[in-house]
Each structure stands twice: as structure tokens, then as C-alpha cells.
Amino acid sequence: MVGSSSLERRFVGGGAHRPGDLPISIQLDIGSGRSPPRSCPGFQGGSAGQEGMDSLLLRVQGFRPHALESPLKLIMKIAKLSSLIFALLFSVASADARTWTEAGSGRTVEGEFRKLNGDTVEVLRPNGTLLKLPLAKLSESDRKFVSEQSAGTNAESAEAERPVVTHKEGSELQEGDVIDLVGRPVNGEKVDLAAMPGKVVLLDFWATWCGPCIAELPNVKAAYEKYHDKGFEIVGISLDSDEKRLEDFIEENDMPWPQLCDGKGWDSKLAKHYGIRGIPAVFLVKDNKIVATGVRGSRLEEKLEELLK
């Protein structure tokens, strides 16, 4: 049997109450079986009307319903408006998303297809989290969709023989490391180092907000103009989080080489993979092997003269 208990909360202020003040004393009696007094405006008496349920007595002293009516309505309107805004944002974020279904259980999840990584499908949810879904557990229609989306990328990658990677993920790049870099830049076509045999490629980790990176840009552009026709390429890997700002900067500064950027700043997948802890970080690559590190200033041209003979 539920016994009787009470909770009292008082709002007490010194001096006389001004218009709009709410001197309130609220007492909740559980299991008392008593009804609110008829003198309390806005509340009806009576028990809970169901066997086994305890009555609730709300006793209000000095309560003016009209004083609280407007704030309550305002709070309700704000809540409804917030729900509408959230729904609108969710629908915009999910514009490119699809519903993924697990074949066995029928469970579903919303998300945008990013890529097929081995036997795992990477899906970006509307809230920004990245899910990894086992391809084998997806519905037949989902597997067909993934196959169609990744067919073009797989065909392009298959054209180039994949190198045997010696670089350990997360460690700093060193001379002699063999890497396998493939990606979709924010400008231009797909980047695949394995599809550039014999060429010398500058991997340039940088950002538009990095002062030393911008100071080095004229030197990099001069080297590109001088050695591009001799087999020199550049692949920029930007640590910017604002891709629009990056695209505008590229256009304004006439940077024709591809730029890889996932918009995650220092959490960039490539930066973490290659152990980048400071920028600018520049490396020369030939046939997927790191052949020089720290090539800035005059050292860049010296190494290019040596490697492009």
C-alpha cells in the first residue's frame, strides 16, 4: 500500500509583491484521497477515477492563473517551433541519404553512401556519425546499389597495379616508405599515385589558415610551372574544415593541381594515416615510394633537378 507523502515548494520574496509576482505554495499529497478545494480556480476535484491509483492533491495558495498563462503558452510555442526547425534541418541533411536495411532482422538506418571499404560499407548518418555496415548483411537492393556506386571506382583502380605498402599506418612518413594513395579531390578527377609511374609527385599537407604554408606557395607554384612538363605533379592534402573557403582560395590563387580534403581539419583521415603532426609537411614520391622529405624552399628545386634528369 502506498502511503501518504508530501512535497512542498515555496517561492518567498521579501517585501510586498509587485504585479506579475507569483507567491506560490504548492503541496502534493499522494494517497490522501482528498479533493482540491472548490475555491481553487482552474482545478477540478475528484479522485484519479481508477482503482489502485492514488489521488493527487495540488493545493495552490495565492496563485493567479492569468499571470502564468502567457509564459506557458510562449514555452509551448517555442517547443513546437524547435521541433519544426529540427525536422526541417533533418530533412535537408538527409536529402542524399537512403534507407539501409539489414536482410535478416529488417532493421533500418538512414545514411548517405560514402564508399565500399573491403567488405564494409561506410555510411554517413544525418547527425554526422560514420557507420560501417557489413555488406553481406545488407538487403539485396542495398548490395546492388553499392555495387553500382563502386563499379566505376573499382574499374579505375584496377587499371593500375597496386603497390605493396610498407608504411605503417599512423607513423610519420620516412624516405623509403611505400604508400598507396587514392582519393577524390575537391577539384578535378580522381587521384591515384599508382597511375603516375615514373612521375615525381609532391605531397603537400597544408591549410589556407597556415601562415608558413601560404608563404611557401609562390615557391611551389614556380616549381610546378618549371617542371610540370618534365613529369612533376602536385597533390595537395588540405587540413581545412571549410571546403568552400578552400575552393575559393584555390581559384583565387590559380592552383591547378588536385586537392584532397575531407573537411575534418586535424582529424583528417589522411593526416592521421600518415602521421602528420605539423604543417606544412611536404614529401616527394616516385613510383609510390617516398624519395625525399621536408622539401621546402630551394631544396625542392634541387631535388627536382636530381630526380627528373
What does the pLDDT read at residue 31?
41
Between CA 226 and CA 15 the distance in angstroms is 84
141 in any annotated domain: yes
Residues 192, 108 share a domain = no
Domain of 254 in residue numbering reads as: 182-307
Tell whether 291 is covered by a domain. yes
Based on the fold, state whether residues 150 and 193 are members of the same structural domain: no
Instruction: Provide the pLDDT confidence category of residue 93 given band limits of 50, 70 and 90.
Output: very low
Are 143 and 186 within one domain?
no
**286 within a domain of the structure (yes/no):** yes
Q: Model's pTM, two decimal places?
A: 0.52
Tell me the pairing of strands 120-124 and 232-238. Answer: unpaired
Residue 156 has pLDDT above 70, yes or no: no
Per the structure block, which three cell numbers stand in for 290?
A: 617516398
| Residue 133 is assigned to a structural domain of this protein | yes
Domain presence at residue 169: no
Q: What are the tens digits of pLDDT across the range 43-62?
A: 444 444 444 444 433 444 44
> Is 72 a domain residue?
no
Q: Could you tell me the CATH number of the domain that includes residue 236?
A: 3.40.30.10
Convert the pLDDT of each residue in 105-142 to its tens digit: 889 988 888 778 777 888 888 766 778 889 888 998 88
pLDDT of 2 over the 90 cut: no
* Residue that is last in its domain, among 127, 159, 191: 159
Same domain? For 245 and 191 the reply is: yes
In a domain, 267, yes or no: yes
CATH code for position 136: 2.30.30.700
DSSP assignment string, 7-62: EEEE---SSPPPTT----EEEEEES--PPPPTTSTT------SSTTPPPEEEEEES
* 3 contacts: CB under 8 Å, gap ≥ 6: 31
Confidence of residue 16 (pLDDT cuts 50, 70, 90): very low
Higher-confidence position of 186 and 6:
186
One-letter amino acid at 58 equals L
* Together in a domain, 191 and 303: yes
CB of 285 closer than 8 Å to CB of 201: yes
Of 128, 159, 190, the last residue of a domain is: 159
Q: Sign of dihedral through CA atoms 246, 234, 306, 221? A: negative
Q: How many residues does the chain have?
A: 309
Cα Rg, the chain, nearest whole Å: 33
Closest CA to 223 of 157, 284, 269: 284
One DSSP character per residue, 46-103 reads ---SSTTPPPEEEEEES--HHHHHHHHHHHHHHHHHHHHHHHHHHHHHTTT-EEEEBT
Count of domains in the chain? 2
pLDDT of res. 70: 65
